Every structure is written in structure tokens, then in C-alpha cells.
Structure 1
Amino acid sequence: MAFDHRKYRPGPRIDLPDRRWPDQTITQGPRWASVDLRDGNQALRRPMDVTHKRRLWELLVRIGFKEIEVGFPAASQPDYDFVRLLIESGAIPEDVRVQVLVQAREDLIRRTFQALEGIPRAIVHVYNSTSPVQREWVFGSDRAGVKTIACHGADWVARAALDYPDTDWTFQYSPESFTATELDYAIEVCNAVVDIWQPTPAHRCILNLPATVEVASPNIFADQIEAFGRSIDRREAIILSVHPHNDRGGAVAAGELALLAGAERVEGTLLGNGERTGNLDLVTLAMNLYSQGVDPGLDLSNPEEIIAVVEDCTDIATHPRHPWVGELVYTAFSGSHQDAIGKCLKRQRPDAPWQVAYLPIDPSDIGRDYQAVIQVNSQSGKGGMAFLLEREFGLNLPTWLRRELAPLVQRASEAAGGLIDAQSIRDLFVAEFIRDQHPVALQGLTLRAQGPDQLELRFGTAGGEQRASGTGAGVIEAFSQAWTSAFGRDFAVIDYQEHAIGAGTEAEAAAYVLIEQDGTRHAGAAIDRDSLNAAIRALVSALNRAALAEDERTRTARTSGEGHARSQRQPDQRLAV
């Protein structure tokens, strides 16, 4: 089959040279309308049963939705029964309006009102398709005929409501396929519906403009919404609503731009479930506003609950990179990202505006902690590794030690084929840099600090115990003198750092030292309840690592020399043959 773009045409555009929406700013959340239980439910391989519908309903109420479309009761007995269940069980809070959908057919409208009998307040949402392809190819009608369907539907709704005077009714009309409908005709049809309902500023109706199929870019949708809002009659008596779908992947952007263009209400679903590529994702749109300092009016502080309930009710997994709430969206694997995040988190003050590199919001706002922010794999660098060691174990490694540890962590991650956890990183650090037992073990020390520091040491070696003593202006200088006198090898201390781990009587000391011996630098470390012991053990670790490195170089040179000698003999053997 040919992949031929010429069979397609651009979506409809409108001429709006004086558009004002690009200069607007969203300063408050819209009216949110969830259609999870209707539009979302009809898109599932296996529609929800009553138990799952009830669970999802309760979640939507907890989050703070005040308008929830629960079904199409005239077309589905399970939907009818669920509406009755909500009413008869008293499950509808006083500030929540149930919304139900119905086609512009008299029999369906009558049954819809029967399903809602006894409800204190409700939204009846009537619709019919208005686009040219629907008018001409589906219904075999023209503009006048389709407008008549809309008017009849509006009239039947208004008349049926009179039979239930104890309910506070809100009427809603959708010109289905609005984005593919000629704008002047969509306005004409909606004006005709509004003329029948006669809404007032005190009791407004809802005009809902669906991108039933997303046929153009979000800016075109914004133009359509702004032009519609300017031209519709009785604008002050109308709640302008939008219902974007995600066929082009732009539903959230379309919804956001529609709010700039004058929309006051947004319909969508949690996490974007819906027909084809889905509905507008209400969580993403609400979090977009939240990240800009706008109160969305919804409580999204527990995304784990939202994900768990939606996945259970829809049997659709949430992508780990789903905006704002995916499992990995606050996780950094890149070394440079990890380093930047770690530095920013140290400087971020609780009372200051949030400005942490690579984290557009504070993950703790939505129940995430920093354990998920930085994870280490083979693509990570020194920053992420150091962040984990400091966060999990209080180890604040100097830069030069991080530089030595990083390739060890990378190799371990590559060998494991993925992530390496903080405990494994600590184990590598301890195994490589705390080397105070072999070939020399520190067995005891005594410090006399009257005048110059006098240090007496006992070392365990392969040849037995070795005693040494030294004097200096400080402990390190005294140790250096003692070591040189005992083993005949001097060294220079390039850097020494220490810090406490924890506080109070349970605190430990961590010491890190970088030495130079025979022109080569070696790092060592130690952790001890006593800071003096930690310092001396760190020095012993660095010197042991220097000795082990020298042994390895000697073995390598010997092996290389033996191989070279064999290769030198080889030509003679060949000649003898």
C-alpha cells in the first residue's frame, strides 16, 4: 500500500488576524468535567462493571471534580442502572453534578430523564453531528436538516425537564465534530439551540465544542474557540466548554490554548483514556497549570492512587514516561543531569520559589520523594553516584575520590545490565577504598599531644607485628614519620577531608585522604566511631592501595617480559624446523 500524503487535506482554518488569545494568561483553573465513566468507558475492550464504576466515581469525587459524566442511560441498561444506583444510594455529594449524554432523539431523551428522576441537580448533555461529512455521507441531509435535529433535541430536553421541577437542571449541547464543521454553521446551530433554552447569566447553559477528531494543530483550535466566543449570541448566559481528542497528540495543548481563547470548562479523562488515541488528559492539563503557579482546583497530590485506580478500572497500563505522574519522570540517569539536580537541591530553600534544574516541580508535592529522582546506570556519572551515597549513607565523597569510584560503578552497572542501587555503590566504595587490613593492618595507636604530637603505632604485616612512632606538628605529619621509619617509604598528603555521619552519640567519622607516592596518587578512606582512628585508617588504606597497585604493575611487567622472551625465541624454533 502506498504511503501517499496527497490523499489528505489540511484541516479547516479561519481568518482571525486580530486573534487575542496569544497575549492572554491563564490565572485560574477551569471548570473540570470528567467523562471517564462514559466517553472513557465506551473506549475500553471490556467496559467497567458496577464495582469498578463505583470505585472510579469515588476517586473522581475525592480529587474534586464537580461535574462528572456517568453514562448514556438511554442507550445502555448498565449505564441506566448505575445512574439509579448513585441516586438511590445517596452517593452524590451536594456540590457535584452528574452529567448524562443523550442523542437528539425524543424517546432517548424521555428515558434519560426517567433515569435521573429524584436527582437534586444534573446536566443533560444532548448532541448531534454537524460536520459536512456527517451531514452528507452519514445522514444524507443538508444544513437545514441537521439544524432541525439540533433544535428538536433542545426542545425535547426543555419540555422533558418541566416534568421534573424539583431538579436543578443544566442543559448542555455539543455540535459533534465541531472542529470539522464550518464555523459560521456551528454558530448558527448553537444560536438556534440557545434561542430555545433561553439561558440567563444566573442560570447558564453549556455549549461544548468537541474536537471529536483532532484535525488541525492546537492554534487552529484556539482560533475557532475565540471566533466562536466572539460571535455566539447571549455569551454572558453561556458556559463555553471544550472536549479535545488526541488524534494528533495535541489534546492537552489544544485545551490549554482554548482556555486562553475564552473557554471556561474542559472535558476529559484521567490519564487520557478514550477512543482512538484518547481524550484530553485532565491530570496533565491540571499539572501544567499547577507548575505555573495556578491552583487547578483539583487534588492531585496522590498520583499513585490515581494510577492504581485507573489501571484497575480500565486495564490500561500507565506509561513510565507519562507527563507529571509516570514512574520515571522524576528520575535522572544522565550524569550531568544528576550533578545539576544534586547541586540545586542543596541550595533550594523551603521558603523560596522552586528552581531546581531538570525538575519543573518539587516531586514531593505529588507524593514522590527524592529516592526516585536520581538512579544510576551505565549512562550515569559522578554526580548521581555521589548523590545516592550522600542521601542514603551520609557519605560526602571528595571530587577526586568520586572520579576514581565512577568507572567502577559504571562497569558494575554494565555487568548487571541496568540499574545499580545505592547499597551496591557503597559496597564498591568500601571494597575498593577502605583497605586498612592488607598488606598492612592498623592494630593499635596511642597519641600524646603535649607539645608536638607523638604517635605510637602497631601494625600487623605478613612478617608479624611492626611497631613505629613519629612526631610532628599534627597527627598526619607524625603518622608520616612513623610510617617512613617502619617501612622505608615516604609519601606526601595531597588532600585530606573528613566529616561526621549522623549526630549525637551514634555519630561516626568518615575520612578521605589522597596521597602521592613515587609520582602516583592514591585515594583511601575509612569510617570509624573515633575521628582519630578514621584519619589513620584512611592513610593506611591509601598506602595499602599504593602497595597493591605497585605489586600489580610488577606482575604485569614480569608477565609482559616473559611473553616477550618467548616471542624472541620463536623465530629460532621455526628455523630449526
Structure 2
Amino acid sequence: MVKKSIEILDTTLRDGSQAASISFTLRDKIKTAILLDELGVDYIEGGWPGSNPKDYEFFKEIKNYSLKNAKIAAFGSTRRKGIKPEEDVSLKSILDADTSVAVLFGKTWTLHVKEVLRTTLEDNLQIISDSVQFLRDHGIEVIFDAEHFYQGFKEDKEYALKVVNTAYEAGAKVVALADTNGGTLPHEVLEITRYIAERTKAKLGVHMHNDTGNAVANSLMGVVAGARHVQGTINGIGERTGNADLIQIIPSLLLKMGFKVLRNPDGLKRLKEVSSALYELAGIHPNPYQPYVGDNAFTHKAGVHADAVMKNTRAYEHIDPSIIGNQRKIVISELSGTANLVNYLDRLGLKLEKKEEKLKRALQTIKELEAKGYSFDLAPESALLVVLKELGYYEKLIDMKYWKVINENGLALAVVKVNSRIEAAEGDGPVNAVDNALRRCLVKDFPELESVKLTDYRVVLPGEIKNTESVVRVTIEFTDGKNTWRTEGVSQSVIEASIMALVDGLDYYLQINKKLKPLLTI
């Protein structure tokens, strides 16, 4: 049986750009359009050409690119009251954008018709009909967005139905039912959309906002009720609390509901990539808890979960994360079991049974350290050092006997005694100064440390720990250009915690490369 298709219209560049604190440059908009086309959406709503010069320029610029999957759509409103279509600024701007598709919004709610447009209900229907017909006469495919549809339906369902049929009879290919203020709940969307679907020949779409946290659920309920066109944004960005998140909708439609979605058959594998790219372009930190693509979406922390997933991934994972470009992670923490440790050791090439007594002792030490303020799910490599010591694979390669930091009057100076060498160094700050001094001592014996760089530094105040004073937790991320790792230090002194994390980070690299790798290749 051939799967039914659902059209996807992405409005990240129009509705998404209306989110507070987001401002796409023209170059950002072009990059986004290319990403969306490669993903395989059916329509890309590029903006409102009549509202600002940047959107107008986008429609000119995008013509220089050959898109493989998506049609570019220009957004605009129906003609103004008392104005002929050919004289209306908004409709003319759509023609000037020179696109094959227009997304046209018009009034559905009688409150808006009477109090905002200040016209009659019949005149509003004529406005809709004239506007759709005008664009169709110019060879443009029209998607009509019925603004405030669900609010309008609750007030006058017969008039809301008339709006849908008027747009359809005028030539609209799709009539999208919009929950413009985001106040409709899933069971209402199901009932209302089904009511309309049973009484119209129009192809229905849904356009949902997230004001009650139900935009994704509402979109899926709209499809269950008969809609075959869904509008949304990447990562759900948009006005107020945002739009329906296509990153969640697309895999749900395809993997859970059996619909054919995306013109690119390999587009689903790029879902996390597209999500991450849009976060970066929007200047927003990615949500690690975002369904499907978040860094924590397939992360297992509890020991029971980790053990089960290592036996059969279906035990706690609803899909294979690789299908949407994500990956499984098992973290180490006070909630872990030995299965969590076995998973990490397996990556290093060490094969151990989870019943190994040494692993149990290492896990107990890890839990005791977490009680003192560590958080090893953020810095697993510090925990792995504990495990390597307990297993007997650890060799002391960094012996720090003394450190002193001077940080005053704009001067950051560190003196360290490491591996019987004394070195001093300046830095951009105390941590950088210690790092420089440490490396001066160590690179003579371990030149490979020249390739190790610090890429992130974070300080957290976990609060007062039982039976001690308040402490700080410092997490440092490192890279050698190929791999990344994170280590931690906890102390009442931020400098000491930083030095602990710094030494652990360099030590971990040396243990893996100087001690562990030669052992595993024998």
C-alpha cells in the first residue's frame, strides 16, 4: 500500500524570525533556505516581501541558487478593504517577489472581521475570494492561511466553514487552519479539524503556535483529523512561545504514523544537523532536552537504564538515534551502575564484566566524590581516571608538588613544581597562567601535549555540601583536534578547582595515549 504524503511548509524565515531576540541576516536566510531544501521540505516561506527590504532582497537573491526539493513561497495578506486587488500593496509585493507560490492570510474570526477590519462578514468573504483569484490569475499557487481559525470556529463555526470553502472555490490549493494565539488544546483541534474535513473538499493544512505547549500535539491531531499539510519552524522558534517544531513533527509523522514526509529520502538523517545549524544561525544555545535531536535525547544515566540498553536498545529507546542523525550516550554519575562504567571502558578497548569487584569499588568512590560536589555526567573522563586507578591501569605521569598564583594589578602569574621541574608563566588569567606553566614542565617529557587545547571552561556553584563549606565545581573541555574530553575539579577555591580539572585533563590524555594504547596494541 502506498503511504499517504504530508506536505511540509517551513516558516522559519518568516514566522520564526518574529521570535524575540532573533534577527537573521540576508546571508543567514540564504543558508537556512539551502539547509531546508537539502532536508527535503516541500515549501520554504521566505518572508513577507512587502514588510521590509531584507525579505524583498531574499527573493531576488535566492533565484541565484538551484533548489532541488522545495518551492519558495512569499507571504502576504489579503487585499485591504475598499482596495482593488491590482492596487493593493501587499498583493503587488507578492507579484514583485516573482515566486511560484504565495501564502496568503485572511480573517476567519468574526471578532477580527468586525472590530479589526471594521467590515461586514460578506465583504470579508469577497476580500478573500478576490485576493486568491487575483494571484491565481497570475499563475501563482496559493496556500490560504485562515488566521485565528480555531478561535473563529468556537464563536461561529458556520462562518469559519464559509471562509474555508470561499478560499477553496477561489482556487487555493491548501487552506491552512491556524491556531494563531496558540490557545487550542489537542482534543479541540481533533474535533474541529475533523468537523471541517467532513464538510469541505479543500485540502486542509494546520499552522500551530505553542502558547499552551501543545503545538506539536495539535499538529499531529490535525493530521489525524484529515489535514495533509503541516506548517512549522525548525526548533519551534517563533513569536511569543514559538511555533510547532518541525524537528519533532517530521519524524513523528514518518516513523510513528507511517506518512510519507520529505522529498529527500535521506533527509531524516540530517535532522540533528539542520537543528544544530539553525540554533547557531539564530544565536540560541541548543536545547539538550529537545525530543529526537537533543544531546540528552538518547542519554542514559540511571544504572538500570544503562544496563538494559546495553542488552537491548529498545528497552529504553523509542527509535534508533542514528536514524535522525543523533547518537546514544551512557553517562557516569552517582545514579550509575557498573554497566555505565563497562560501556565507557569498552570504548577504550577494555573488556570487563560488570560484576568485577574492582569496578564496584571504583563506582563507590565515584558516588562518594559526587556527594562532595562532582558531577561526572558532565565530565566522565575524571571518573574514568578513578576507574583506571582502581583497575591498576593507571601510572602517575604528572606529579604536582607545588603551585602558586598571583593575580593582581592586571598581572596573572603562576609558579608550579611538576615532575621535579619548576616553571613560571604569565597568562591572560590565572587558569591560563597555570596551564602555560604546567606545559613548560611537561612538554619536555610529553611533547604530544602541544596539540592539546582548552576549548571550554565553566564554573558552577553547587551550593553547600553536607558537613563542609560551600564549594565550586570547575569543568574544562579539551581537544587534540580529533577527540574532545572533559574533566572536573571541586574545591572551596575556584583556582584550586581549576587546577584540579586542568591536571586531570592533561593526565587523562597521557594515560590514554602513553599508558593505555600501548597496552591494548600488544
Work out the CA distance in 1 between the residues paired with 2:394 and 2:374: 31
Structure 1 unaligned runs (5+)?
1-25, 346-355, 438-526, 535-577
- Once the two structures are superposed, residues 36-91 of structure 1 have per-residue CA deviations (whole angstroms, 9 ceiling, x without a partner) of 1111112243431211100111111010012111111122222122112223x2x2
Work out the CA distance in 1 between the residues paired with 2:346 and 2:335: 20
Match of 2:123 in 1: 148
Are the counterparts in 1 of residues 77 and 105 from structure 2 also a CA contact under 8 Å? yes
| Within-5 A mapping of 1:157-556 | 157-162=132-137, 164=138, 167=139, 169-181=140-152, 182-195=156-169, 197=170, 199=171, 205-232=173-200, 235=201, 238-292=202-256, 294=258, 295-297=260-262, 299-345=267-313, 356-370=314-328, 373-401=329-357, 402-415=359-372, 417-419=374-376, 423-434=381-392
Give the AA of the match of 1:428: V
Match of 1:103 in 2: 77
Larger Rg computed on CA atoms:
1
| Within-5 A mapping of 1:120-159 | 122-141=100-119, 145-159=120-134
The CA deviation at 1:170 is: 1.2
- Once the two structures are superposed, residues 102-129 of structure 1 have per-residue CA deviations (whole angstroms, 9 ceiling, x without a partner) of 1112312442343233x4xx22222222
Are the counterparts in 1 of residues 300 and 331 from structure 2 also a CA contact under 8 Å? yes
TM score, norm. by length of structure 2? 0.67
- Matching of residue 83 in structure 1 with residue 59 in structure 2: yes
Work out the CA distance in 1 between the residues paired with 2:241 and 2:317: 27
Match of 1:73 in 2: 49
Q: 1:116 to 1:320 in 2, by over 3 A?
A: same
The CA deviation at 1:430 is: 4.1
Are the counterparts in 2 of residues 102 and 124 from structure 1 also a CA contact under 8 Å? yes
Q: What secondary structure does 2:319 align onto?
A: coil
Are the counterparts in 1 of residues 37 and 68 from structure 2 also a CA contact under 8 Å? no
The CA deviation at 1:330 is: 1.1
Work out the CA distance in 2 between the residues paired with 1:272 and 1:75: 22
Work out the CA distance in 2 between the residues paired with 1:359 and 1:267: 28
Work out the CA distance in 1 between the residues paired with 2:210 and 2:91: 33
Work out the CA distance in 2 between the residues paired with 1:84 and 1:186: 36
Q: 1:425 to 1:137 in 2, by over 3 A?
A: same
Q: What secondary structure does 1:100 align onto?
A: strand
Moved more, 131-140 or 206-215: 131-140
Are the counterparts in 2 of residues 392 and 422 from structure 1 also a CA contact under 8 Å? no
Are the counterparts in 1 of residues 11 and 44 from structure 2 also a CA contact under 8 Å? yes
Q: 1:115 to 1:322 in 2, by over 3 A?
A: same
The CA deviation at 1:296 is: 3.1
| Within-5 A mapping of 1:12-27 | none
Work out the CA distance in 1 between the residues paired with 2:288 and 2:269: 18
The CA deviation at 1:304 is: 4.3
Structure 2 unaligned runs (5+)?
80-84, 396-515
- Once the two structures are superposed, residues 189-238 of structure 1 have per-residue CA deviations (whole angstroms, 9 ceiling, x without a partner) of 2223333x2x4xxxx62111101112231111011111101112xx1xx3
Equivalent residue in structure 1 for 2:18, among 42, 56, 70: 42
Q: What secondary structure does 1:52 align onto?
A: helix
The CA deviation at 1:398 is: 4.7
TM score, norm. by length of structure 1? 0.61
The CA deviation at 1:369 is: 3.5
- Once the two structures are superposed, residues 268-291 of structure 1 have per-residue CA deviations (whole angstroms, 9 ceiling, x without a partner) of 001101111111111101122344
- Once the two structures are superposed, residues 453-494 of structure 1 have per-residue CA deviations (whole angstroms, 9 ceiling, x without a partner) of xxxxxxxxxxxxxxxxxxxxxxxxxxxxxxxxxxxxxxxxxx
Are the counterparts in 1 of residues 10 and 231 from structure 2 also a CA contact under 8 Å? yes
Q: What secondary structure does 2:340 align onto?
A: helix
Are the counterparts in 2 of residues 273 and 279 from structure 1 also a CA contact under 8 Å? yes
Give the AA of the match of 2:390: E
Equivalent residue in structure 2 for 1:112, among 93, 100, 104: 93
Q: 1:303 to 1:67 in 2, by over 3 A?
A: closer
Work out the CA distance in 2 between the residues paired with 1:43 and 1:293: 30
Q: What secondary structure does 1:172 align onto?
A: strand
* Identity over aligned pairs, percent: 22
Are the counterparts in 2 of residues 214 and 245 from structure 1 also a CA contact under 8 Å? yes
Are the counterparts in 2 of residues 389 and 422 from structure 1 also a CA contact under 8 Å? no
The CA deviation at 1:360 is: 1.1
Work out the CA distance in 2 between the residues paired with 1:86 and 1:134: 35
Work out the CA distance in 1 between the residues paired with 2:182 and 2:362: 52
